[in-house]
Structure 1
Amino acid sequence: MRLLSLVPVLGLCALAAACSDFPEFDGSQSPGVASAPWPKLVPLAGLMQAQPAPRAAPEMATDLDARAEALRRRAAALQGDVVDETARGRMDGGVVFPEVPGA
Structure 2
Amino acid sequence: MTEFPMMVPMTQAEFWDKMKSVVENVVEAKLTTAPSSNSTLIPEKALLKASEVCTIFQISKPTLYEWLKQNKIASFKIQSRRYFSRQDIEAIIRQDNKISNL
Q: How would you bin the TM-score normalised by the shorter chain?
A: under 0.3
Q: Which has the higher strand share?
A: 2
Q: TM-score, normalised by structure 2?
A: 0.27
Q: Which has the larger radius of gyration?
A: 1
Q: TM-score, normalised by structure 1?
A: 0.27
